[in-house]
Amino acid sequence: MAAPRYEKVNWPDLPGWGSDDQSESWPGWVRSCNALRQQRPWRRVCAESLDIPAGDAAAQQRFFEAHFTPYRLANPDGSLTGLITGYYEPLLLGSRKRTARFRFPLHGPPPDLLAVDLVELNPELKDKRVRGRVVATPQGNKVVPYYPRAEITNGTAPVKGLEIAWVEDPVELFFLQVQGSGRIRLPDGTVMRVGYADHNGHPYRSIGRWLVDMGELTLDQASMQGIKAWVKRNPDRAAELLNQNPAYVFFREVPGTNADDGPAGSLGVPLTPGRSLAVDTRTIPLGAPVFLSTTWPLSARPLQRLMVAQDTGSAIRGAVRGDFFWGFGSDAAEQAGRMKQPGSMWLLWPNGEALPGE
């Protein structure tokens, strides 16, 4: 597959650049600097940003224009648009112990799950990692794929005893796995935060697409809300539906976090609602500013703003591909569940630094 293209452009080529309020993205940029300021290519630009007032949007825009160059991203086939989806931090009801009400577990990573970093075998396989397990055969030990979702949920996989919490709704748990992090309100009113720990290595498959292919929903009905409504009408087919996606996420508890902060993304810093973006790091390095031009969910109204690449996702693959973090709560869930828009993206890269992959 051909490498993605970076086309150098001028600032006026970014639609809506001049009208965006840079102060809304500045906290996310500062958090990226806190994680990356000692690394190239961020060392110089992060040091320069220390002198910029947090609330001065005009000064922040001048900073980016002075220290960065915008590059329009193109897919390997030359196309300039891609898919922009949305995600959020959900709230589920649950318990640390299994009860009659709370029966569906969140698991921590199993000890027999192997993660093999292929770059150690071949430098050309950078960013490639596979997961599996070891089985004994007459010819010796062999690495095979880890158990798919159906075998984890039906008890075939050795995950008993690894439960970190239990929730009441398997569909809400499925979407928690899709989001990668969330909150669980416990019976005593306290809130437990959980975050992504690992996954079983199977590729993500859209259950919405399966419902469309089966003639159960139309394409415009296959949102998160539409899928939940379908399960309410067909509760006896919930397991059949969820098992169409063999991918399975394992969680960890995230203690001691500020309730006002978003969940930590792959960069290790809290996400900023409406300004953090999950990306494919084969094209966009974590921490990089990215200008996004798309539309609001189910709308033609422009959504054009500076984002910060602070997260990844197993379904986020492609040069022009982004997942927009909407935040926490029901409003964020509504927006994220409906967002499936075409969009364009521009990488903002520090002047004088080699582009990613060069």
Average pLDDT over residues 126-130: 68
Average pLDDT over residues 8-20: 97
Q: CB within 8 A of 229, min separation 6: which ones?
A: none
Average pLDDT over residues 109-114: 95
| pLDDT computed for residue 1 by the predictor | 43
| pLDDT computed for residue 87 by the predictor | 95
Residue 2 has pLDDT above 70, yes or no: no
**Global confidence as pTM:** 0.84
| pLDDT computed for residue 314 by the predictor | 78
Question: Class of 5-87+263-350 per CATH?
Answer: mainly beta
- Phi then psi for 311, rounded to 5 degrees? -150, 170
As a whole number of angstroms, the distance between CA 326 and CA 334 comes to: 9
Rounded (to 5) percent helix, strand, coil in the chain:
25, 30, 40
Residue 225 has pLDDT above 60, yes or no: yes
Task: Give the pLDDT confidence of 306-322 residue by residue, as tens digits.
Answer: 999 999 987 899 999 99
* Per-domain residue ranges of the chain: 5-87+263-350, 110-160
> DSSP characters for 225-271?
HHHHHHHHH-GGGHHHHHTTS---EEEEE-TT--TTSPPB-TTSSB-
Percentage of the chain lying above the pLDDT 70 cut: 96
Average pLDDT over residues 2-28: 92
Query: Cα angle vertex 91, ends 197, 266, to 5°?
Result: 30
Residue 181 has pLDDT above 90, yes or no: yes
Residue 30 has pLDDT above 70, yes or no: yes
Average pLDDT over residues 104-110: 97
Residue type at position 214: M
